[in-house]
């Protein structure tokens, strides 16, 4: 089945230690999104790639970066995680900004 895959499902890191979350998709969608979702809140868009064009949300901290080496893969890099960055991170894809298909998420814990 075509899908959006996120690895790992759970990630534990230390305060200030860089961490990378991974997303891959077999849908061949040209748009990929990263969301942050904290407990009992709606997902918050961090940034998205429309093809190779990177679109950062105005309020996304500089601590968060992203890479998209090819159509199928997209990475979320957190350069110096703080305690406030503990959250569920959701990857989504779409075709030309249409319906978004979500992965299962990676839950990040910062110690």
Partner 1 sequence: AQSVTQLDSHVSVSEGTPVLLRCNYSSSYSPSLFWYVQHPNKGLQLLLKYTSAATLVKGINGFEAEFKKSETSFHLTKPSAHMSDAAEYFCVVRLVAGNNRKLIWGLGTSLAVNP
* Residue ranges in contact with partner 1 by CB under 8 A: 4, 31, 40-43, 45, 48, 50, 55, 90, 92, 94, 96-105, 107
Cα–Cα distance, 32 to 71 (Å, whole number): 9
Q: Which two tokens stand for residue 46?
A: 């961090």
Shortest Å distance, C-beta 16 to partner 1? 26
Q: Coil, helix or strand for 83?
A: helix
Q: Compute the half-sphere exposure of residue 81: CA atoms within 13 Å on the CB side of its CA.
A: 21
Specify the residue, 15 or 54, whose C-beta has the smaller distance to partner 1.
54
| Residue 80 C-beta: closest distance to partner 1, Å | 26
Would you say 69 or 98 has its CB closer to partner 1?
Answer: 98
């Amino acid at each position: 089945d075509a899908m959006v895959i996120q690895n790992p499902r759970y990630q534990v890191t230390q305060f200030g230690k860089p961490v990378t979350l991974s997303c891959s998709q077999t849908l061949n969608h040209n748009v990929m999104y990263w969301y942050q979702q904290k407990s009992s809140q709606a997902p918050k868009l961090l940034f998205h790639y429309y093809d190779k064009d990177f679109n950062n949300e105005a309020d996304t901290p500089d601590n968060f970066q992203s890479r998209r080496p090819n159509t199928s893969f997209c990475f979320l890099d957190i350069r110096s995680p703080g305690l406030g960055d503990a959250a569920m991170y959701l990857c989504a894809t779409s075709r030309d900004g249409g319906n978004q298909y979500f992965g299962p998420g990676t839950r990040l814990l910062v110690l």
